[in-house]
Structure 1
Amino acid sequence: MNIIKGAIIGLGCTLILYIVPLVNALSPFFGGFLGGYVASEGAFGGLKVGILMSLLAAIPGFLLSGALALLLKDIPVMGAILAGSSLFITLVIVIYTAIFGIIGGVVGGVVADSN
């Protein structure tokens, strides 16, 4: 249960920090760190927090990209290009969030375990 709570808190922190300029580049790391620290399950628990946080972030992203693709399906060429690029951008953001969220979760879990 701590891992789910840590992932939700980490995702919330990540989403809030994405709005702050200059901090948004490392917001998945800070969110993962906070989530791993809250879960306080060690390095492996921090890894689980980072993975779950990434999965929770991916769901609305791909749903919104799919909705955009459905809206643009009637435009012959530009619709396909815009829909494909929105899916690609979503995939890049999810991978970026996953990598830094997992690293932050592991670091946060180790710091919480050492206290």
Structure 2
Amino acid sequence: MTRPRWLLSRWTVVPGMIAMLVMAWTLYAESHNDGIITGAVVDGKGRPVPGATVLLLERGFVTHEERDRTRTDAQGRFRFSHNTSHSVQLEAEAEGLGRSDRRIVRLWFRAQNTNLTEPLRFKEARP
């Protein structure tokens, strides 16, 4: 039994592959959309900062507005859940260390789960 010639034509194969790619991306996005953002906070020397407050800022119409806040655990790690935005900024503050620089986090899709590869870092205190 031979296959019809049109079945192996590029006019059939290419759109079929594009459709499969779109379906795979949709399944990936749907299975990773809990809105979890995790990371760590360290001081200027790279040591974890327990008890630091981490702010999650979401872009409003004109400025970034605070949407959520959490505290770091004993290892300096933090976790946000139920983030619904695709563009957020993170900032840490701790008593005696001040504020860290804001970190812009761009996500490929809304509510994407992500783990920061680089920790939020406080500037080293000057003597």
Q: TM class, shorter-chain normalised?
A: under 0.3
TM-score with structure 2 setting the length: 0.22
Query: Which structure has the highest helix share of the two?
Result: 1
- The structure showing larger relative contact order (alpha-carbon pairs under 8 Å, at least 6 residues apart) is 1
